[in-house]
Amino acid sequence: MGAAAESRRLRGGLPTPVGPTAGTRNDCTQAESVTGLIRVAGGGPGRPRLRQERVIADKGYSSRTFRAYLRWRGIKATFPERVDQLEGRARRRERPCLFGKAVYRRRNVVERCFHRLKQWRGIATRYDRHPDRYQAAITLASTLIWLDK
């Protein structure tokens, strides 16, 4: 696949829907709800698709329930397993999940998107403690990033 087509597929590192959570909650508990919010625009007219082709994430999203959810929806998962999960699979004599390092390298696009959002001081430091105001700041920053493209 060409570089232009690849960048269109990855949305050029532009932000997609996000929602604030409590600081004590881990990411994998919210992964299903965020995955349900994402709409994938097609090349032509009509409604956007509700199902992504692939999810590329870090070890924080590696849970059995999230992997089962992705399998149920027919979405390919590319994220490494945590060490304790690998040990548990070895103990149960299960095969490890497939992991493509070449595909995982494309995750840097996501990290660059986070970097662009964190250029906004209020988002990076989370000065505002009200979730609705913080969500508004993220939405404003995301909109300006989309308009700047």
Return mean pLDDT, the chain.
75
> What are the Cα distances from residue 119, in Å, to 44, 83, 88, 114?
33, 33, 40, 9
Query: Using one digit for the tens of pLDDT, what is the confidence trace for 70-100?
Result: 889 888 888 888 787 778 878 888 877 777 7
Q: What is the pLDDT of residue 140?
A: 86
Query: What does the angle CA 67 – CA 53 – CA 144 come to, to the nearest 5 degrees?
Result: 105
Confidence check: pLDDT of 49 > 80 = no
Q: How confident is the model at residue 24 (pLDDT cuts 50, 70, 90)?
A: low
93: left (phi over 0), alpha (psi -120 to 50) or beta: left
The encoded tokens of residue 121 equal 């001081």
Residue with the bigger pLDDT between 140 and 51: it is 140
Least confident of 21-25, 96-100, 134-138: 21-25
Confidence check: pLDDT of 3 > 60 = no
110: enclosing H helix or E strand: helix 108-117
Per cent of the chain over pLDDT 70 is 80
Name the residue range of residue 121's domain: 3-148
Domain total in the chain = 1
Q: What is the pLDDT of residue 17?
A: 61
Confidence check: pLDDT of 4 > 60 = no
Confidence check: pLDDT of 2 > 50 = no
Local structure of 50: helix, strand or coil: coil
Mean of the pLDDT values across residues 116-122? Answer: 83
